[in-house]
Amino acid sequence: MRPGRAEIVGGGFGGLVAAAALAERGWSVRLHERRGVIDAEGYGIAVQPNMMLIFRALGIADAVIAGGARIDRRDSLDGAGNVVLSRKTERSPYRIDRRHIVRLLARRAAEAGAEIGLGSRVTGISPDGSVTLGSGDRLRGDLVVLADGAESSLRASLGLLKRRVWQRDGAVRVTVPRTDEEIAEDEVSGTAMIEAWSDNRRVLYCPVNDTENYVLLGSLVDDRAGKATPIDPKVWSRSFPGLSAFLARVAAQADWDEARWARFQTVRLKRWWKGPVAVLGDAAHAMPPYLAQGAGHAMMNALGLAVALDDEPDLASAFRAWERRERPVTEHTQRWTRIYGNTIFLPRPLKRVSIAAERRIPWIGRQYLHAAHVVPTGCAHLVGE
């Protein structure tokens, strides 16, 4: 179809890739981000092969990697701090600060001609393609892309929500400066992603660039002491005595003003579009982060949408082709990330059975890695290059 005007709501992974990909294909793009800067909550992102292909398609792969950290191994610790399992990192060797990635995406979108409106909160959207801003201005797009995240305040006005399922757990994420000792140790024995589980709490941390560690502290929804921010290092050290010095550092050094505990959720829509409005990213298909693919799917579906619009004669057939192609892969990940998440909280004997099953039946592992090895729509020409 002939490119026209696109109004995009949300300057996260989904909105920014949509802005860059549509502008590259001749659309006149205006992106609205409610915040005054392009930034992102949540810090480290595990970059998997499917995401890498998207970055390559946008010409920013080298710059993305240059700002992140390569992780050489994953160490699982018990509460006392002993390494119980250490494995080389094959699946997602890069952890990258999200702020770094979204800034590069924003630059790419602007270079391609997209107009990025900061401090531009959208207060209303309607299925006829009109978008109302906080200033009261009303705009109309030939295409509207809604990518305002899992807590979307605008999705409801389209009447597309089918299901929103809350997980038993959530997490708070922060960064803390790396110490000179950590940097020196990494130079000798390689970088590690550390993960420890105890009392249904989880501590995960690893370098995310030259100077910072990304830290995720996960807990159940009814664990009031575990959910509190700033964390109480005594509460967390009772579960992880071997990490008490690190936890004291996290409590003292993280920027707690920005940090919030967020509960994991799964979102499903009846359909991914209505009239000229396409919904993508967490607003359409939020998922718990155990397989680290939420941003991957947001970006795949944004690029996939731009490709479908390029290939099809009109908006409705492009939307249909897009949803038919992208939705099954997205829902496969949603299903398997929940399965994985449910195994985490099994009683110990059942957990052992589930780990043994995963070792004995390679098919299970392949389901967990399915999305990571998908070639995103619009990236086939990059394979083998």
Ligand X SMILES: Cc1cc2nc3c(=O)[nH]c(=O)nc-3n(C[C@H](O)[C@H](O)[C@H](O)COP(=O)(O)OP(=O)(O)OC[C@H]3O[C@@H](n4cnc5c(N)ncnc54)[C@H](O)[C@@H]3O)c2cc1C
Q: b/e map of 245-281 (b: 16 or more CB within 10 Å)?
A: ebbebbbeebeeeebebbebbbbbbeebbbebbbbbb
272 is an interface residue for ligand X by CB under 6 A? no
CB nearer ligand X, residue 317 or residue 343:
343
323 is an interface residue for ligand X by CB under 6 A? no
CB nearer ligand X, residue 77 or residue 372:
372
CB nearer ligand X, residue 99 or residue 274:
99
341 is an interface residue for ligand X by CB under 6 A? no
Q: Residue count at the site for ligand X (CB under 6 A)? A: 36
- Contacts of residue 97, Cβ cutoff 8 Å, sequence gap at least 6: 43, 44, 45, 67, 68, 175, 208, 209, 212, 214
CA 82 to chain centroid: 30
CB nearer ligand X, residue 148 or residue 323:
148
**Binds ligand X by CB under 6 A, chosen from 5, 107, 121, 370:** 121
Q: What is the spatial distance between Cα 85 and Cα 75, in angstroms, rounded to a whole number? A: 6
**Binds ligand X by CB under 6 A, chosen from 191, 293, 333, 337:** 293
207 is an interface residue for ligand X by CB under 6 A? no
46 is an interface residue for ligand X by CB under 6 A? yes
CB nearer ligand X, residue 6 or residue 295:
295
**Binds ligand X by CB under 6 A, chosen from 254, 292, 321, 329:** 292
Question: Nearest to residue 148, comparing CAs of 259, 12, 45, 22?
Answer: 12
CB nearer ligand X, residue 1 or residue 369:
369
10 is an interface residue for ligand X by CB under 6 A? yes
19 is an interface residue for ligand X by CB under 6 A? no
**Binds ligand X by CB under 6 A, chosen from 13, 197, 246, 322:** 13
User: Phi and psi of 307, rounded to 5°?
Assistant: -65, -45
Residue ranges in 211-240 that form contacts with ligand X under rule CB under 6 A: 216
- List strands edge to edge, sheet with 83-88: 83-88, 73-77, 192-198, 201-207, 212-220, 161-177, 262-269
267 is an interface residue for ligand X by CB under 6 A? no
Question: Nearest to residue 94, comparing CAs of 152, 155, 48?
Answer: 48
285 is an interface residue for ligand X by CB under 6 A? no
9 is an interface residue for ligand X by CB under 6 A? yes
CB nearer ligand X, residue 36 or residue 384:
36
32 is an interface residue for ligand X by CB under 6 A? yes
CB of 230 to ligand X, least distance (A): 17
CB of 182 to ligand X, least distance (A): 21
Q: Which stretch binds ligand X (CB under 6 A): 40-48, 241-249, 356-364, 374-382?
A: 40-48
The answer to whether the CB of 195 falls within 8 A of the CB of 203 is yes
Q: What is the spatial distance between Cα 66 and Cα 108, in angstroms, rounded to a whole number? A: 16
CB of 156 to ligand X, least distance (A): 12
Long-range contact pairs involving 315-324 (C-beta distance under 8 Å, separation at least 24)? 315/1, 315/142, 315/143, 315/276, 318/1, 319/272, 319/273, 319/278, 322/272, 322/273, 322/278, 323/271, 323/272, 323/273
**Binds ligand X by CB under 6 A, chosen from 77, 243, 267, 295:** 295
Q: Which stretch binds ligand X (CB under 6 A): 61-69, 147-155, 182-190, 235-243?
A: 147-155
156 SS3 class: helix
149 is an interface residue for ligand X by CB under 6 A? yes
281 is an interface residue for ligand X by CB under 6 A? yes
262 is an interface residue for ligand X by CB under 6 A? yes
7 is an interface residue for ligand X by CB under 6 A? no
Apex 6 CA angle, 5 and 7, nearest 5? 125
CB of 328 to ligand X, least distance (A): 18
Give the DSSP per-residue string, 160-220: -EEEEEEEEEEEEEEEEEPPHHHHHHHHHH--EEEEEEETTEEEEEEE-SSSEEEEEEEEE
Measured CA distances, 23 to 27, 53, 178, 307 (Å):
5, 19, 39, 12
Give contact residues for ligand X (rule: CB under 6 A): 9-15, 32-35, 40, 42, 45-46, 121-122, 147-149, 153-154, 171, 173, 216, 262, 281-283, 289, 292-296, 298
